[in-house]
Every structure is written in structure tokens, then in C-alpha cells.
């Protein structure tokens, strides 16, 4: 039997909205989510979990209350649990998020950018 890999490019081709992570794989109780973003997100944190960002294309900036990190293609960053952060993309960024199943993208903050957190593509 020939098993199929998960192709980031193929999955990205199915996405045309911003800030709506789509699940592409699970490892134990963690999920891999592909997302396209552009512009400003909201300040939020995740009280119970770290969150991993891997940039597939573009340049992501994550602002913290005490600074920022710039993450380019082929780079990653783990935002520690409980740390307030605000993603920002001046131009469109394609990225992979890794976090436990059930994490809401806006944390406890909510608002218009809150996405259904278990949509697969």
C-alpha cells in the first residue's frame, strides 16, 4: 500500500481566508494547523499550553508586551503558555501551528477573529 504524505502546498491551495486555521494532521492529542494570515491579530494568551509557530512563507512578527520576534520562512518559535502575544503580518504569511486539540485561536479574549477550532482540510 502506498500511503500519502501531507503536502503543505496542496493544503495551502485550499485556503482563501485569513486567520482561520485548518487542521491537517494529529499527533496524539496535538493538532497541526495550516493558516494564512495578513494584518493584525488580537492580543491574547493561552493559559494552559505553549503554542508553536512554523513559518512556511513570508515574514511573521509576534509582538509581546516586552518585545517582539520576527520569524521568517524556515524558522519557528514557541510562545510559552500564559504569555500575551499578538501575531502580525505586513504581507501574507503562510504558517503551520502546532498545539493541543481544542485550543481556541483567540484564547480567552474571543471576538470576531475567533475561528472554529476543529475544521479539517
Nearer of residues 40 and 50 to a second copy, judged by Cβ: 50
* Nearest residue (CB) to a second copy, 10 versus 110: 10
By CB under 8 A, residue 119 contacts a second copy:
no
Q: Residue 4 burial (CB < 10 Å; 0-12/13-18/19+)?
A: exposed
Please tell me whether residue 27 binds a second copy under the rule CB under 8 A: yes
The three grid cell numbers given for residue 47, joined into one nine-digit string: 493559559
By CB under 8 A, residue 100 contacts a second copy? yes
| 61/52 Cα distance (integer angstroms) | 14
Instruction: Identify the residue among 15, 18, 30, 113 touching a second copy (CB under 8 A).
Output: 30
Query: What sign does the CA torsion over 34, 35, 36, 38 have?
Result: negative
Contacts of 90 by beta carbon, 8 Å cutoff, 6+ apart: 59, 61
* Residue 5 sits in the site that holds a second copy (CB under 8 A): yes
Interface ranges with a second copy (CB under 8 A): 1-9, 25-28, 30, 32, 49-52, 55-56, 64, 66-72, 74-78, 81, 98-100
Amino acid at each position: 500500500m502506498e500511503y500519502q504524505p501531507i503536502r503543505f502546498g496542496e493544503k495551502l491551495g485550499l485556503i482563501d481566508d485569513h486567520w482561520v486555521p485548518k487542521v491537517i494532521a494529529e499527533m496524539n492529542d496535538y493538532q497541526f494547523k495550516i493558516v494564512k494570515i495578513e494584518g493584525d491579530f488580537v492580543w491574547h494568551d493561552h493559559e494552559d499550553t505553549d503554542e508553536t509557530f512554523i513559518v512556511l512563507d513570508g515574514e511573521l512578527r509576534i509582538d509581546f508586551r516586552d518585545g517582539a520576534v520576527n520569524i521568517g520562512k524556515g524558522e519557528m518559535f514557541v510562545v510559552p503558555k500564559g504569555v500575551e502575544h499578538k501575531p502580525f503580518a505586513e504581507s501574507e504569511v503562510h504558517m503551520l501551528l502546532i498545539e493541543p486539540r481544542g485550543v481556541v485561536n483567540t484564547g480567552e479574549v474571543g471576538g470576531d477573529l475567533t475561528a472554529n477550532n476543529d475544521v479539517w482540510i
